[in-house]
Amino acid sequence: MKKDIHPDYHEINVVMTDGSSFQTRSTWGKAGDTLRLDIDPKSHPAWTGVQKLLDTGGQIAKFNKRFGSFGLKK
């Protein structure tokens, strides 16, 4: 193998949405950094079957502001 071409592989802490955490090895961040998840298997609708809107960037509000006047006509 070639030297000095591989990224640094170190331990990080991962915090899930319910507050539980675990340590794993990764190339993300620096050694000892904490990765906080917005969506994980405990909260994702594909695994839980419960739909929940997660609007972290204000996209839903922006959409409603832009297209809110297009109501259904009866």
Q: Could you state, in order of their start, the residue ranges of all structural domains in the chain?
A: 10-67
Mean pLDDT of 11-16: 96
Share of the chain above pLDDT 90, in %: 36
Q: What one-character DSSP code corresponds to residue 62?
A: H
Mean pLDDT of 44-59: 72
Residue 70: the pLDDT is 76
pLDDT-based confidence at residue 54 (cuts at 50, 70, 90): low
The owner of tokens 């507050």 is 19
| Per-residue CA distances from 62 to 15, 58, 65 (Å) | 29, 6, 5
- Identify the CA nearest to 33 among candidates 16, 18, 14: 14
> Buried b vs exposed e over 27-38: b needs ≥16 C-beta within 10 Å?
eeeeeeeeeeee
CA distance 23 to 9: 13
- Considering the entire predicted model, what is its pTM? 0.57
Tens of pLDDT, residue by residue over 18-36, are 999 999 999 999 999 999 9
